[in-house]
Structure 1
Amino acid sequence: MKLHLRLVLILPFLLQIFTIVGLTGWLSFRNGQKAVSDLASQLHTELAKRIEERVHTYLEIPLLVNEINADAIRLGLLDINDIPRLEPYFFAQMRQFKTVSYISLGTEERNYVGVARRDDKSLILEVSDERNNYFLNTWLLNEGGERVELLNPGPSYDPRQREWYQTGVSAGKPIWTEIYPYLVSQELAITASRPVYDAQGQLLGIIGADLILTQIGDFLESLEIGKTGEAFIIERSGFLVATSTEELLFRDKEGKNERLLGVESDDLLIQKTAQSLQEKFGDFNQITATDQLDIEIEGDRLLLHILPYQDEGGLDWLIVLVVPEQDFMAQIHANTRTTILLCLAALGMASLLGIYTSRWISQPILRLIESSEAISEGNLQQEVSGGAIAEFQTLAQVFNHMANQLNTAFTNLEQKVAERTSELAEAKEIADAANQAKSEFLANMSHELRTPLNGILGYAQILHRAKDLNHHRQGVEVIAQAGTHLLNLINDILDLAKIEARKMELYPTDFHLPAFLIGVAEIAKIRAEHQGITLYSSFNEHLPSAIHADEKRLRQVLLNLLGNAIKFTDIGQVIFKVERVKNLANHPDFSPDATATLRFTIEDTGVGMSPEQLTQIFLPFEQVGSTAKRSEGTGLGLTICRQIVAMMGSELQVKSTLGTGSQFWFTLDVPVSQKWVNRVTQCQKGRIISYTGERKKILIVDDKVVNRRVINEILNPLGFEIQEATNGVEGLAVLAKWQADLIITDIAMPEMNGYEFVRNLRQSYSCTVPIIAASASVSLSDQSLAFKAGCNSFLEKPLDLEKLLSYIQQHLKLQWMYEQEAQPLTKEQPLVFPPAQKLQVFYQTLRIGDIGGLEEAARQLGAENKDYRGFCDRLLTLSAEFDESGILQLLDQAVSVDIL
């Protein structure tokens, strides 16, 4: 569709005028509306404060009267059993405090005296004591407080059975009773009750002062709340206390007086407001702070102001102001109509001006259009005139100059495009070469470094056990620590490379969660103690016993985060907390198909981070903190942790304050498992269910109940007889009465640690019983101390339960019984090799020297298909011996078999 130039010139002009005028009018309306809204909000706030102050004044007087009377009794100025003297005293107080409707006193001796104010402002006396056999008599008092006429010789009366008396006794302090209908005047009332005690703390009686709540309603009714606005006070239970209307606040239902709920009020504004508050908050108890709301009732917008009111006597009310918006917006709407009329007038004027202007400028524009069409067809020899308008003359000159320049530009453009394309191709080749060089460098360097490091670590452990190299043990330990450190650096780089190449995978297994967490905490605690700080562990009692997740990667994340927290904390503490945040209602017994949501939190009081540092901590090779602290790592830990947590379906989050500390946390949804014991006892021949021979006795010595329980849950079903001890002293006491065939002991324990326990055991109990030591500290010096004390084997914490079963079989010379026996491998039954495509991962890990990755892939393949377990076991044996050539030969043999 084509549009004429004149139309194009007129329509935008008119649209601009209409938009500007309309926008101005709309902004004027909005600003006026906001100004009125702000003013209304300020008026509401001021009015609510006035109501609160007046209510406080009314409610303060009964409490003050009770306090005055209690002080007079305490100081001995009044005798609560001297009823004749109390009568004129209460009469004088009633004349002084006009807002109080009743002052009374009941005693533990059943005496009662009270002075009340009637509707005609006259005062009456109610008394019950032994003088009138405890009947409640009502007397009319004159202006001097003297008895004039017996109005009502009432029934027998016991104040101790009354609600106001029992409320004060139960509270033991000044308190308000529940609101009740005051039947004499058909109004609501409330009593301030205060107990009185003697010097020995014995209850003497209860002082009471009544307040008619209609006084508060009268005050609310006297206020100007807009034109049609209302105010009311409501209890948290929903019952009305006072309103600005004349509505009676209690009803007669089946002969009983029941108070009126806000949602049942006959006043539509109060009723709908109460209903809206209940719908929004669910319960009046959820309103805890001053709030301003906008609600809509039957198409009308209402402005609400809510102010909670509480006092020392236990009152908890809500003061509510509600004003229809129309009370404030009437003038704004009138201004809006005026603005619309002005907009229409401006639009008409703009239309006339647009038509005239379009005629004046259309001709030069049309000439420029004709010349432009000629240029677009290749005719660059164009020359136009600009007419009488100076701007069009300038435009014509520029147009003519542009036409002369286009020839040169089009001639040079093709040549520049060709040159740029050549440069981009060359740059791409350089980038590809650099990327290939980086990959080859990482692969070659990893292979060159890992091979000697594996040898160093292997021979370091061998030398550590040699008896004739004791004077070299310190050097051996240094070699092992340095090699371990370098190996960790290489593993970090390889993990990052796997993540970036999307080759890292998670291998979830079933494992015991509490034992896993305690093991992680014990490992971190050793470093924390070395640093001189405290590590606190807090594990929620609702945690499941076992979960299905990647134990290795989860431990890697937690130890890295704990290590960072300890490293950057010089003074204070580190808190390690794990809690179950949901799904408790759906799965309270942790059924096998349940999913638990766990939140892991590590918090420290260390150096903290600035907002700028927080934006960089997850970048590779980026480190924050002091230079000395940075040198302790590669700067890849948090990057790897974040990626692993993301692979687990969560997000690693952090908040920190410079100089105060940091907090890292993430939340995981993990399946709950009850089959972790089956996984631990599963091997190539099937699941271990027992052993041959006589029943063996095993003593477990560990101060952590979870550690003892997890070992017990594995060994007891296999037929072992188990005894437990919490420390070395208790362990020796058990051995004095019970002969164990094997002992599993922790190292760090209270009263007597593992080293002392083993030395005492070897001296006083047995030199031959096998002892397996377990410790979170895995340094060579700690292992050396364990072997020197008399241990036969050493296990790292968290415990590798499969390795534990292997040690038990070795030391007790057991023959396991399996649920399903496998056929032994013979020459007639060769190894079953996987297809070539499944061997690529082994070639890749071997090429870069990643023995750990090769072992992980072998275990995963064996778990997926039991036919390949013999092949996988052979791979694991060769990797444990660092026999890379043997691994390569086995892989080549598998490939050749697949080809055949």
Structure 2
Amino acid sequence: MPLRLILVVPFVLQIFVAVGLTGYLSIRNGQKSINNVVSQLRSETSNRINQQILFYLEKPYIINQTIATGISTGQIDIKDIKALEHFSWRLVNQNTVDFLQTGTPQGKSVLVERLEEGFIVARTGDTDLPNRQSYRLNNEGKRATLLETKKFDPRTRPWYKAALKAGEPSWSKIFVSASGLSKATISLSQPIYSETGSLLGVQNSNFRLSRIHDFLKSVKVGLTGQTFIVDRSGHLIASSVIEQPYKIRAQELEQIPAAAIENPVIRATAKAVLERFSDFVSIDQSQQLDVVLDGKRQFVQVSPIQDGHGVDWFSVVVVPESDFMAEIDANTRTTMLLCLGALAVATVLGIYTAQLITQPLRRLSQSAEAVADGALDQNVALSHVQELNVLARSFNEMTQQLRGSFAKLEQTNEQLEQRVEERTVDLKEALQELQHTQTQMIQAEKMSSLGQLVAGVAHEINNPVNFIHGNVTHISEYTRDLLALVQLYQREWSNPTPAIQDKIDEIDLEFLNEDALKLLTSMEVGTDRIREIVQSLRNFSRLDEAQVKEVDIHEGIESTLLILQHRLKAKVNCPPTSVIRAYGDLPLVECHPGQLNQVFMNILTNAIDALEESNLDLTYQAIETHPNQITIRTAVIDAGWVEITIADNGPGIPEEIRQHIFDPFFTTKPIGKGTGMGMSISYQIIIEKHGGKLNCCSTVGKGTEFMIQIPIKLRDTADG
């Protein structure tokens, strides 16, 4: 890295990190303050909305209670329709309530309502009159103008029936006002009973939801915030931006779910509440959450509204984060501009400072490179900076010393080269001796472990197999005797009892007579086969015999082939490998049997590996056309030597590889499949242990042949 960057970058980074961290903390603190302010704002707004709506809903309840108490105590005569009409007019005229209605069990009714035009009408019905007359009332509450006459019976109306069914004050569902204004309305009705418990009538007050809309519209939440009311089922009741959040068809009101409303803020907020709480029913206290709409965060608070008489709503306050982030974003931009300005100034100053320092150092660096290339006659000009001036003087003195030191080094180097050559010769001899010793140790350990394993397994198998084989003969005799006895019984007693005949049929005695002897014969054959395998393992290991012994070479070869039989058998994608034996008439050979068997094992294993590798890209039919073969020949080549030849028809070994196959640790197999010691150890066993010869001939594409020659009588020098 250039020194200029080392000087400039840390200085610039310091300023950038300091200013950036300051700006970041400022933004975080501003964000935290905004979150606190918004949290307080939506909580206070929710409380204000809840209090006002409960205040609205409390008025009809108080008025109904006042009228019901007056009627039940006799202060108001419910039979005096005109007096009741005037009393209701006074309450409506005082703006206490907009709608009052009273019905009696006899079918009489009084309704006083303030219309949106501002005047008050009275709709009065009497059983003596078949119809209900609607009058416009004057400023004194007297009837002025007859507006219409319609048939009406309060006892058939839903509010009347609902009050009798509930037996207490209760709110109705939202419905369309019957006054023709097509306004969403809810009514609070309660039954009126006398002191003796008899029904005197039903008092009803209507409340128009448009008043809630007007109130929500007047509540300012930030710059663009919204408020709305939903019920427990998630239907929209009122909104600060939607004057009519429902559909009216043929004087029937259809509520719209807030999650399906066209307003994107209300729709997204309702969906977010449903995703978090599943439904509005599970919300029992105020909840605050954040909603992302078009990539912008909205702060939301949901608060329950309950008056104890059937109203179970939720007020929802939505405050956009953007209403409060404008000033913070402006401060952020200012902070970023200051950071960029500070970074630019720091960069310019850093470059200027680095220039003053790096120019003398560059001259010194160039001179140092020249010295490294061998030009020792360098002289650096002095600098105006004190420290660099000292460095230049030191460099000049160093070059003078180097010229003298190099002259001495040349003399020392000549002496060192001569010593290295002498030491290299010694190391080569030691390395060869070490490799030879290591190979012998590995071979000894391997043969010892393998022999112990094979002998142990053979011994453990031999005892139980001999026991089974010895007893199978007796079992066979006993079985024949028992079957002969059963047959004698059948001949002498030709009419067995039904129980005996059932048992004969159940066990299928005729089949049992035939199959039992076959099974025993199979068991004898099996135990004989296991004993042969055990004997082969013992012959292969030769650990129970003397180290040097006269043995039958063919017996060792057959033992090795028996052990490798599982690799010679046919497989799913490959036919069997045939072994062609061309044995000569060999005498007993004096040798190390276990080690010689190891040589047979290594050569045969490599031959099988070569054949399997050549079969990878061939089909079953192609292999069957040119089958895999291993040919083993033995012969006496003169009076004192025997020759064993093992050949395969595999892919062969290239000449550049064949020259190294007897080298220690040389292998062409993948990592984990070969150690490179097998053929090296085999070479040592034949050459050093037996004083014989081991050669390899191979032709690429035709196969490989190994020739082993050992003396019939082991020489004394071979044991050494």
Which of 1 and 2 has greater Rg?
A: 2
TM-score by length of 1: 0.39
